[in-house]
């Protein structure tokens, strides 16, 4: 947990959990998850915290240590 907090503070990441870091020869990947929170169902209007689906999204940012 301490490592995760250090990485979040270092990279200024808020409200995410760092799951994995992949350090390749020419790239660095951070695998993060957002925290689950309650939402209102668009069909019935009730509040739920159930997850409908998961997705992976790539986000490009500035290079770190001359790596993508």
Q: How do residues 50-63 score in pLDDT, each as one tens digit?
A: 777 777 878 777 88
- The span from the CA of 46 to the CA of 40, in Å, is 6
The conformation of residue 64, written as its DSSP 8-state character, comes to B
pTM over 0.85: no
Distance CA 23, CA 5 (A): 19
pLDDT tens string 11-51: 777 778 888 888 889 888 888 888 778 888 878 888 888 77
Q: What is the pLDDT of residues 7-21, one digit of tens each?
A: 777 777 777 888 888
- Close Cβ partners of 47 (under 8 Å, ≥ 6 residues apart): 38, 39, 40, 41
Q: Which residues contact 15 (CB under 8 A, 6 or more apart)?
A: 34, 35
């Amino acid at each position: 947990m301490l490592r995760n907090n250090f990485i979040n503070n270092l990279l200024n990441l808020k409200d995410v959990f760092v799951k994995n870091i992949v350090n390749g020869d020419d790239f660095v990947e951070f695998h993060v998850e957002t925290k689950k929170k309650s939402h209102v169902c668009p069909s019935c209007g009730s509040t739920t915290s159930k997850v409908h689906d998961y997705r992976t999204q790539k986000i490009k940012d500035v290079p770190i240590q001359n790596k993508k």
